[in-house]
Amino acid sequence: MSTATVTAATGFIGDAKSSDATWRPSAGLEPEALALETTHLSRSVVGKVLVSDISVQVRPGEVLAVVGPSGAGKSSFLRLLNRLDEPTGGTVRLSGQDYRALAPRELRRRVGMVMQVAHLFPGTVAANVAFGPAQRAERLASAQVAALLERVGLPGYQLRDVSNLSGGEAQRVSLARTLANAPEVLLLDEPTSALDDVSARGIEDLVLSIIRERRMTCVIVTHNTAQARRIADCTMILQAGKLVAIGPTKEVLRDR
């Protein structure tokens, strides 16, 4: 079982009609031990509710999968976690601090995101990996770039042009670029959906090993429940922007 428990003492499934469908840490856990917390997080656009009153808490080193049908609000929820979109209600806390108190650049350094399709900048792999630190006037040494690329399974790729990469290679470069910022939380939005099965499983294994190594918190949006079973400690199900179930992955996805 995950290191977290649900609010309701009798089950893992949250009631869609109740705001008590909240993922909370084990009894006695100090607030400082939380990596990421959403409190009544909501977003509406032109009267349409995309995310509705979601409260979850995730500990360092945990992987939370977000699943649900197309249009359920999964990606909208993920984008709210580092303010790529602005909430219209509620907030997010990073290590106990309201993320509205952080400058956007600092927030996105600490809460990194890898998209469904790797959006790399024209040029070399090395330039892409070093991009984040350069925005803070920090130089990533050649040895550091090489080490990051080796860590994601791309040794010697520094001078390759990104236009010549396969989909799986590009996604690994995107991951290395995110890791160059030393994030505390890693957000993954369908990171393997555009890849073949072999490449997808390679990315899964890589992400899991890095999470364990760095004790990072991860939130992954996936349409693939088998993927959620393989990598997620806990899983939340969204429908029409609402949290309808959350808990240990084996329990939440038992009949799915």
- pLDDT by residue (tens digit) across 23-58? 444 434 444 478 999 999 999 999 899 999 999 999
In this predicted model, what pLDDT tens digit does every residue of 70-126 receive, in sequence order?
999 999 999 999 999 999 999 999 999 999 999 998 999 999 999 988 999 999 999
Residues 95, 72: Cα–Cα separation, whole Å: 27
Average pLDDT over residues 116-143: 93
Q: What predicted TM-score, i.e. pTM, was given to this entire model?
A: 0.86
Q: What is the pLDDT of residues 187-227, one digit of tens each?
A: 999 999 888 899 999 999 999 999 999 899 999 999 999 99
Q: Cα(62)–Cα(227) distance, rounded to whole angstroms?
A: 15
How far, in Å, CA of 67 to CA of 3, rounded?
20
Query: How far is the C-alpha of 107 from the C-alpha of 97, rounded, in Å?
Result: 11
**CA 237, CA 33: separation in Å to the nearest integer?**
24
Q: How confident is the model at residue 12 (pLDDT cuts 50, 70, 90)?
A: very low
Sign of CA dihedral 191, 194, 200, 206: negative
Q: How confident is the model at residue 243 (pLDDT cuts 50, 70, 90)?
A: very high
Residue from 41, 47, 21 nearest 98 by CA: 41
Residue 256 confidence class, pLDDT cut points 50, 70, 90 = confident
Determine the Cα–Cα distance for residues 256 and 212; give it in Å rounded to an integer: 27
Whole-number pLDDT of residue 7? 31
Q: What is the mean pLDDT of the segment spanning 127-139?
A: 92
Q: Which pLDDT score is estimated for 194?
A: 84
- Within 8 A by CB and 6+ apart from 243, the residues are 14, 16, 21, 53, 54, 55, 56, 236, 237
Work out the angle at residue 51's Cα, subtended by the Cα atoms of residues 172 and 227, and round it to the nearest 5 degrees: 35
Domains of the chain: 4-252 (3.40.50.300)
Whole-number mean pLDDT of the chain?
87
